[in-house]
A and B are shown apart, each in its own frame.
Chain A
Amino acid sequence: MLIELLTKRYPGMRAWLTQRLSALVMAVYSIFAVARFLIVQPSNYGAWVDFFQPLWWRIATLLFWISLCIHAWLGIRDVFKDYVPNPSVRDVLDKLLVVSLWVYLVWATWLLLA
């Protein structure tokens, strides 16, 4: 029923909810990342590599980055909707936004899992 409400009756609700859920994921990760950084205190190259060595941390970081890309897509798209009245200009900007976020996502995935 919730799914039907979100997708059929109020399509905008899906974007709204996605924006909030991705925000929650990022908030939780950010708190963990700061805490872990303060506990581990990596102070040289070896320690810094070790900081990103555990698979669970790399997966958590990737989840954060996926959320970030979704969040940024919805957020910047709204900014374009508000401040770029010309539909064709906005269309180009939207496409640039999507392309750049895909590049960042592939880049981050390669960085964390390769």
Chain B
Amino acid sequence: MQNNQQKNSQKTKLRPGQMSRPKNLNLFTIRLPINALVSILHRATGCVLFLILPVILLLLQLSLNSAEHYETVIAILHSPFIKVMLLGLAWAFFHHFFAGIRHLAMDVHWMTTLMKARYTSKVVLVLGALATLVLAVKIWI
């Protein structure tokens, strides 16, 4: 039996421990349900928020350092390009926040049937968009 497996793995050039299983790497052939969309966005936004951590610390340090540096930070945050970036990051935060609350709710077995999960997915997407919209209005008006 083991011998057979070895022969098999030699034939298909698999690394030890790797099983042969069907792969479908063409992402365009996979239909992404709305709960999967919310889930993968939760992960993606988490990565983005992690990557931006040093920038947040740097801005916080500068803004508290001296009045001049504070003005510099404010000037940076007021440039249109940075404002758009800021909105993108804010959306990442809002989505991660609301999707995280949804995951916590599901951990305590709340809203776990498929229909309810689809519904809360929509709620999460709408809340994230709404919060970003409110912020956009606030920083542009």
Residues of A within 8 A of B (CB): 20, 23-24, 27, 30, 44-45, 48-49, 52, 68, 72, 75-76, 79, 100, 104, 107-108, 111
Contact = CB atoms under 8 A, between A and B. Distances in A.
Contacts of A108: 57
A111 B53 contact: no
A30 B49 CA distance: 14
Interface string B59-74: 0110110110011000
Size class of B's contact patch?
Answer: 20 to 34
B16 to A, nearest CB: 12
Contacts, number: 44
A42 to B, nearest CB: 10
Given A48-B70, A104-B54, A104-B57, A30 B63 contact: no
A66 to B, nearest CB: 13
A108 B70 CA distance: 18
A75 B46 contact: yes
A27 B57 contact: no
18 contacts: A20-B104, A24-B104, A27-B97, A27-B100, A27-B101, A45-B66, A45-B67, A45-B71, A68-B53, A72-B49, A72-B53, A75-B46, A75-B50, A76-B47, A79-B47, A100-B54, A108-B57, A111-B57
